[in-house]
Amino acid sequence: MRCLSFPVAVTAFFLFSLNVMAQGPARLTLHLEEPGAAVSPGLYGLMTEEINFSYEGGLYGELIRNRSFKDSAKTPAFWSLQAGPSAKASMSLDKQGPVGPALPVSLRIDVTEAGVAADAGVGVANEGFWGIAVRPNTTYKGSFFVRSTGEAGALQMSLESIDGHTVFASAEAGAPGAEWKKQTFSLTTSAGFKPTAEARFVIRLKAAGSYWLSQVSLFPPTYKDRLNGNRADIMQLLADMQPAFLRLPGGNYVEGNTFSERWDWKKTVGPVEQRPGHLSPWNYRSTDGMGLLEFLEWCEDLHMEPLLAVFAGYVLNRDHLDAGPFLQPFVDDALDEIEYVTGDVHTKWGARRAADGHPEPFPLRYIEIGNEDGFDVSGSYEGRYIQFYDAIKAKYPQLHIISTVGGKDPLGLRFPAPAGRTEIVDEHYYRSAWQMEANAGQYDVYDRKGPKIFVGEWATREGFPTTNFNAALGDAAWMTGMERNSDLIIMSCYAPLFVNVNPGGMQWKSDLIGYNALSSFGSPAYYAQKLFSTHLGDRIVRLSPENVPTQTQHLTAKDSAAGVQAKKIDALFFSATRDTKKGVIHLKVVNTQGVAQDLVVTVAGVSKVGKEGGAWTLSAKEPTETNSISEPTKIVPVESKVKGLGKTFTRIFPPYSITVLEIPVVTAQ
């Protein structure tokens, strides 16, 4: 409907204006005479998994790509040999004499002739994840395992431009011995250059000899200076959303394509050099540097609660284990995992967490059994779910368990909710803007006697790599529906969260936050979500809309040929919540059309409405407009003061806009 050509848009405008003139403006009554149901404080959270280079080349701070030389069995991918004309050297992958079981491969460099004078030395350079971001006056911390044939010379580590002509920082290390040694170093850049991602990391070998390198790592300063931590700019974008929880670690990522590629949490904890890493279902390797403890620390840093999805015996190639003794080791693994998260230091896995550096247990209330098990056509989920549910509840009766089937989403509908044991169901929705808007009222009619709903994945899929403003409108309309029903929808999280926007970085079109090596940005949908999550009260305000203008479905040629009749749905979407502590109402209004809309608002059941309030408006000239790495803040909310509020007031909502109005109120209650 909204990708209209100009004449069509003008005609639509006149028809629409006629509609408004004939019927008068839209009206909305806010019912504060009723206490309203409680808003779920956990309504807005985050969903995460290794997809679109979310951690590797994304949130996880590691700058070296293929640090453990496992990305390709044949060549040292993302590494290159740098040798001047007078030097002779070669490099290859080597499985002889590895560092340990998790690092079975190393990079062997044979320097036959180190060269003379100016071009002396041989280097191995890593190109990073589509470049390495280098900033002035910054200290980078690195490490690698190294050994040599014994007679080798000193090493030099440097951050330099891709052509090698500019050295941003360098450091020296003594000649390596014949045994593996972990060498640590730091590189501090000079002042006076522009931040750039056109850089590489080089280890230069200054004398002839054979050298072996393994797990080469380099980190920039991280968020809250965590060791093995996260990229600060992306963490800040997330912090600004004030998310309540983090659904981890997937998604498909928890399942893997095969049993051996599942997210095997025990292999993701402890020293990083002891983590073997694995192939993610999104077809690239994860080092598992972002392991269970790092997920939990990510939660801690952003004051989020972890929502833990446990592997439940089903993998993406449709292999599964039926309930019974063969499934039990996986149930035990889940129990151990919960103990790692929550156990005190006297428990086996709590002690292990303490040894890993975090003696304090983490809070945990929700466990999800698997992911999207509606795909398991064998029908084994009910049995698997019950085996996990009973074991978890027996040991941790306080935990709430989430089923991945039994919801009203297409996958959830394939199987009924496991009988007698379903507290919460996870529903997933990936839709067009039209579908989101057409279904924005779906929860208004849900049965309140059934399980609570966790909308564990949802997104309007328009625009890529990050979505456009039309998607933000669809998302915002959908969020009004979740908010109006946040007694039932206890949690929700958009997916996928991240995408590396470089060519080859995206496996899933339509993502919330984009980045390259140097910078990051939020899509319009990110800002819509931030507006919604940071303006949320504690009580739902019932609304009665009247005279709401409509929009007509735009049919494709295929739809028309199939005789589909265009539907009409509302063009304005609303939700309101009251913050009883602050004494304000957060009224959200979404105008999906290209014409401004008058709205007469009546606040019923209050003693007083303050005359002045605040407004945050996110809007675009065209629905296809978007943010990008080159225009990261083209569409951002504009904050303004609002005057003329009262028990009844009129406000004009701009074309294609998402608005939050903060209205001060005094109620008798």
Residues found near ligand AHR in the complex (CB under 6 A): 49, 51, 250-252, 371-372, 457, 495-496, 508
Closer of 434 and 508 to ligand AHR (Cβ):
508
Shortest Cβ 159–ligand AHR spacing (Å)? 34
Closer of 51 and 603 to ligand AHR (Cβ):
51
Closer of 495 and 603 to ligand AHR (Cβ):
495
CB atoms within 10 A of CB 116: 11
CA dihedral 458, 461, 466, 472 (to 10 degrees): -70
Closer of 45 and 115 to ligand AHR (Cβ):
45
Shortest Cβ 507–ligand AHR spacing (Å)? 9
Alpha-carbon distance values, 214 to 100, 102, 104, 130, 226 (Å): 10, 11, 9, 21, 23
Using the Cα atoms of residue 494, residue 280, residue 248 and residue 239 in order, give the sign of their dihedral: negative
Please name every residue paired with 30 in a beta bridge, in sequence order, or none if there are none: 543, 603
Shortest Cβ 51–ligand AHR spacing (Å)? 6
Sheet holding 520-522, edge to edge: 498-500, 513-515, 520-522
Closer of 57 and 251 to ligand AHR (Cβ):
251
Closer of 121 and 496 to ligand AHR (Cβ):
496
Shortest Cβ 459–ligand AHR spacing (Å)? 8
Shortest Cβ 496–ligand AHR spacing (Å)? 5
Closer of 89 and 312 to ligand AHR (Cβ):
312
Tell me 373's DSSP state.
G
For residue 456, cis peptide bond before it (omega within 30 degrees of 0): no
First to last CA, the chain: 44
Please name every residue paired with 293 in a beta bridge, in sequence order, or none if there are none: none
Shortest Cβ 511–ligand AHR spacing (Å)? 9
Dist CA 480 CA 657 (whole Å) = 14
Closer of 115 and 249 to ligand AHR (Cβ):
249
Residue 364, classed as helix, strand or coil, is coil
Task: Quote the distance between the C-alpha of residue 467 and its chain's center.
Answer: 14
Closer of 58 and 496 to ligand AHR (Cβ):
496
Dist CA 169 CA 416 (whole Å) = 60
Shortest Cβ 527–ligand AHR spacing (Å)? 20
Contacts of 66 (CB under 8 A, 6+ apart): 72, 76, 77, 78, 79, 126
Task: Tell me whether residue 311 is exposed, middle or buried, using C-beta atoms within 10 angstroms of its C-beta: 0 to 12, 13 to 18, 19 or more.
Answer: buried
Closer of 298 and 508 to ligand AHR (Cβ):
508
Phi, psi of 570 (to 5 degrees): -60, 150
437: left (phi over 0), alpha (psi -120 to 50) or beta: alpha
Tell me 118's DSSP state.
G
What residue has token string 């978890």?
392
Shortest Cβ 255–ligand AHR spacing (Å)? 8
Residue of closest CB approach to ligand AHR: 251
Alpha-carbon distance values, 627 to 52, 84, 327, 468 (Å): 18, 43, 46, 7
Q: Residue 428, CB half-sphere, CA atoms under 13 Å: how many?
A: 21
Closer of 217 and 507 to ligand AHR (Cβ):
507
Shortest Cβ 658–ligand AHR spacing (Å)? 23
Please name every residue paired with 306 in a beta bridge, in sequence order, or none if there are none: 246
Closer of 275 and 461 to ligand AHR (Cβ):
461
Closer of 106 and 252 to ligand AHR (Cβ):
252
Contacts of 556 (CB under 8 A, 6+ apart): none
Shortest Cβ 371–ligand AHR spacing (Å)? 5
Shortest Cβ 500–ligand AHR spacing (Å)? 15
Closer of 372 and 625 to ligand AHR (Cβ):
372
Tell me 103's DSSP state.
B
Shortest Cβ 379–ligand AHR spacing (Å)? 19
Strand locations in 361-503 (E): 366-369, 400-403, 424-431, 452-460, 489-494, 498-500
What residue has token string 């589909």?
564
Closer of 305 and 427 to ligand AHR (Cβ):
427
Q: Can you give 439-472 as a three-state secondary structure string?
A: CCCHHHHCCCCCCEEEEEEEEECCCCCECCHHHH
Shortest Cβ 655–ligand AHR spacing (Å)? 31
Shortest Cβ 372–ligand AHR spacing (Å)? 5
